[in-house]
């Protein structure tokens, strides 16, 4: 009898230990989920839609990412909801087309993107309703942007700004499937997203260097860039091209693509501007205008909005060219 009681006590103790272990694990998981969701701001990433022509699009919806609001309208733009055509003929519409530089990323709230700030400044200056269409997605190149315009049109635009970086000269779709950086559905939990999207890649990082681009990619990228500008021109939309440079380029690295894209713009007789005109002086002064090598910070987006405002103002209200001075009269001999 004594032996049986000892065995029962051992079994009961083992069950209690196992129960405590399970409870402790559940508490740890719940705490981890709470920290990942409430502190880190994970669990509700912006989603994407795979597309056979565009490659992928932002999925319409309202997201809370890193405690920043990200709203994607029905046209897959990071912009307020808007009809396809103007409801008010007095409304001003501007397209800003690009990649993650225009999108702004999840580290910036909607209200702090350059396009949202551009909307505010134009509404103040023009004294009329303004809609700025943020037509962008992370890693979009000219072919993605071109297919978007072919699919959705130009939304009654009065002006357009196309923002490209050097690498866009050869950034062409691969149609290799969307990875964890472009999720198509919400993760099972914020903790799981932390582990899968951020933890594992830290332990097993991908190769740092991307393979060199090919001439075929350059030809395809530049052809798409040219066709995109031709569509805007054919629809009578005043357009400017903005070349965005990275911190590495500020330090002297020559990526060459910026010159190729500027040449495409100039072949269409379009003005070319450079974000370096507003970002580089601040960067040299030690101001935090970048999050990383390429993506402008909140402060950087404020500077870009000022540049975009100047550009749109020039497109809408071009200054007439000054007439050539009359030739001086011939001197009179005596």
Give the pLDDT confidence of 78-124 residue by residue, as tens digits: 999 999 999 899 999 999 999 999 999 999 999 999 999 999 999 99
In 3D space, the residue among 140, 166, 141 whose CA is nearest the CA of residue 257 turns out to be: 166
Q: Give the three-class secondary structure for 100.
A: helix
Say which residue, 171 or 198, is predicted with more confidence.
171
User: If you search the block for the tokens 């100047």, which residue do you land on?
Assistant: 310
Question: Where do the structural domains in the chain lie, given as residue ranges?
Answer: 40-203+212-316
- Cβ–Cβ under 8 Å, residues 45 and 70: no
Report the percentage of the chain scoring pLDDT > 90.
72
In 3D space, the residue among 101, 111, 182, 108 whose CA is nearest the CA of residue 136 turns out to be: 101
Bridge-based pairing state of the strands 159-165 and 92-98: parallel
Q: Does 3.30.9.10 match the CATH number of domain 40-203+212-316?
A: no
Say which residue, 73 or 318, is predicted with more confidence.
73
Distance CA 19, CA 6 (A): 20
Among the ranges given (61-65, 122-126, 206-210, 260-264), the one the predictor scored with the smallest mean pLDDT: 206-210
Say which residue, 107 or 6, is predicted with more confidence.
107
- Cβ–Cβ under 8 Å, residues 72 and 46: yes
What's the confidence (pLDDT) of residue 321? 55
What's the confidence (pLDDT) of residue 334? 38
In 3D space, the residue among 296, 264, 270 whose CA is nearest the CA of residue 161 turns out to be: 270
Give 315-334 pLDDT, tens digit per residue: 999 877 555 454 444 444 43
What's the confidence (pLDDT) of residue 322? 54
């Amino acid at each position: 009898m004594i032996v049986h009681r000892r065995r029962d006590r051992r079994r009961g103790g083992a069950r209690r230990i196992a129960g405590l272990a399970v409870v402790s694990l559940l508490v740890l998981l719940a705490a981890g989920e709470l920290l990942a969701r409430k502190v880190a701001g994970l669990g509700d990433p912006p989603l994407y839609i795979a597309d056979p022509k565009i490659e992928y699009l932002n999925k319409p919806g309202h997201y809370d990412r890193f405690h920043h609001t990200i709203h994607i309208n029905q046209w897959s733009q990071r912009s307020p909801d808007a009809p396809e055509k103007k409801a008010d003929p007095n409304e001003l519409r501007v397209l800003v087309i690009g990649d993650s530089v225009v999108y702004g990323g999840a580290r910036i709230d909607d209200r702090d993107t350059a396009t949202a700030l551009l909307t505010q400044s134009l509404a103040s200056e023009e004294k009329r309703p303004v809609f700025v269409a943020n037509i962008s997605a992370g890693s979009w190149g000219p072919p993605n942007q071109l297919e978007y315009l072919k699919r959705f049109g130009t939304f009654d635009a009065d002006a357009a700004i196309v923002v490209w970086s050097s690498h866009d000269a050869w950034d062409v779709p691969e149609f290799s499937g969307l990875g964890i950086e472009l999720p198509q559905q919400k993760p099972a939990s914020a903790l799981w997203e932390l582990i899968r999207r951020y933890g594992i890649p830290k332990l097993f990082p991908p190769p740092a260097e991307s393979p060199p681009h090919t001439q075929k990619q350059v030809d395809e990228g530049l052809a798409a860039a040219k066709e995109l500008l031709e569509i805007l021109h054919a629809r009578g939309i005043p357009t400017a091209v903005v070349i965005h440079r990275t911190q590495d380029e500020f330090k002297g690295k020559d990526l060459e693509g910026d010159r190729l894209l500027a040449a495409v713009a100039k072949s269409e007789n379009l003005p070319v501007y450079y974000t370096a005109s507003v970002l580089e002086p601040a960067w040299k002064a030690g101001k935090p205008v970048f999050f990383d090598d390429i993506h402008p910070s909140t402060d950087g987006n404020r500077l870009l909005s000022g540049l975009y405002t100047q550009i749109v103002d020039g497109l809408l209200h071009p200054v007439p060219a000054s007439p050539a001075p009359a030739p001086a009269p011939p001197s009179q001999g005596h």
